[in-house]
Structure 1
Amino acid sequence: MAIQNLSAIENMLAQMRAVTQAASAGSVRPTSTVADSGGFAAELSRSLARVSEMQNSAAAQGRAFQMGAPDVALNDVMIDMQKAGIAFQATVQVRNRLVAAYQEIARMAV
């Protein structure tokens, strides 16, 4: 059991390293691609859809664990629920920043 936990941790670390390398590689999309894909509103919509999908998936996995599905482990359920919770908290923070920016722009004298 402990060896399985170590391999899961090593897999998670490998994923984190891959994400870090991808971020440091500077894989930035050209601005024309961003404009063609719908811009900020489309990206915000896609992000909200991903967060919603994470929450729905974590909830479904939690229900499957409660029902006694043999292929669902408690640690996987807890990790997925934490990921969904963190994604939701980040989304709320982004929303708060957007609202604050909008209010500041609305207060500007023209």
Structure 2
Amino acid sequence: MNGLRPMTGVQDVMALRSAVLERSNALREVRAASEAGQGFAPAQAPVQAPGAGFADTLNSALRQVNAVQQHSGDMQVAYERGQVTDIAQVMLARQEAGVAFEATLQVRNKLLNAYQDIMRMGG
């Protein structure tokens, strides 16, 4: 078995994480710009301390996904009540929540594959 395969899996996960963070930041900037005049405060991402552990990073990412989904739900309810009249904002929030959830699933799948590769190495 190739000893570099698990390392490649970890590198893939880290590259995927970086891509997800970049997309999330881009979506957050677009949402903040579109909500500037509507009275909605953009959801703030918690700041991660340098050198935080993997579990803390993962927990923070899951909290961010939850916050994005909660914001999407709040926007939908506000639209239904007539508090938000711009359907584009609501759809943008829903799309951001969908992308965040899909990215979370992809990270989970990569982590599971890396774990399985590591478990196959034992012997």
TM-score band (shorter)?
A: 0.5 to 0.7
TM superposition shift of 1:68? 1.5
Runs of 4+ in 1 over 3 A off after TM superposition: none
Between structure 1 and structure 2, the one with the greater Rg is 1
Q: Which amino acid aligns with 1:53?
A: A
CA distance in 2, matches of 1:44, 1:72: 35
Q: How far apart are 1:109 and its partner, in Å?
A: 3.1
Asked if residue 80 in structure 1 is aligned to residue 86 in structure 2, the reply is no
Deviation at 1:108, TM superposition (A): 1.3
Normalising by structure 2, what TM-score?
Answer: 0.58
What count of residue pairs does the alignment treat as equivalent? 78
Structure 1: tracts of 5 or more residues without a match? 1-10, 16-32
Higher RCO (C-alpha under 8 Å, 6+ residues apart): 2
Give the Cα–Cα distance (whole angstroms) in 2 for the partners of residues 72 and 84 of structure 1: 20
DSSP 3-state at the match of 2:122: coil
Match of 1:21 in 2: none
Question: Which structure shows the bigger proportion of residues in helix conformation?
Answer: 1
* Structure 2: runs of 5+ lacking an equivalent: 1-28, 34-49
Output the amino acid matched with 1:45: N
TM-score by length of 1: 0.64
Measured after TM superposition, the shift of residue 72 of structure 1 is: 4.3
> Is residue 68 of structure 1 aligned with residue 82 of structure 2?
yes
C-alpha distance in 1 between matches for 2:100 and 2:71:
13
Q: Distance in 1 between matches of 2:81 and 2:109?
A: 37
